[in-house]
Amino acid sequence: MSSYNVKPSKPVAVFGALFGVAILIFGLVNGHKSGGFIWLWLLAGVAVIGFNLWAAFSKKGATEVVSRRD
């Protein structure tokens, strides 16, 4: 059985990281209204940024593995 790593293109992954930065900015600007939920929101933003930068610049930054039966 062969398997292939599927990796997003660098521009798409960098755009995803920029989207994560937008999530952080939105959370910091509007966070005073949401109480404890802001910590979950900020954690999600950091996770989006980290995952996308890992996928863009790591040699093993595959976001999924596709297996094919021979």
Query: DSSP string spanning 10-37?
Result: HHHHHHHHHHHHHHHHHHHHHGGGSTTH
16 vs 68, higher pLDDT: 16
Element (H, E) at 5: strand 2-6
Give me the residue label for tokens 């994560």: 20
Note the pTM of the prediction, 2 decimals: 0.76
Distance between CA atoms of residues 55 and 8, nearest Å: 7
Asked whether residue 67 is assigned to any structural domain, the reply reads: no
Domain count, the chain: 1
Residue 33 lies in domain: 2-59
Distance between CA atoms of residues 48 and 28, nearest Å: 16
Asked whether residue 68 is assigned to any structural domain, the reply reads: no
Asked whether residue 9 is assigned to any structural domain, the reply reads: yes
pLDDT level of residue 35 (50, 70, 90 thresholds): confident
Asked whether residue 6 is assigned to any structural domain, the reply reads: yes
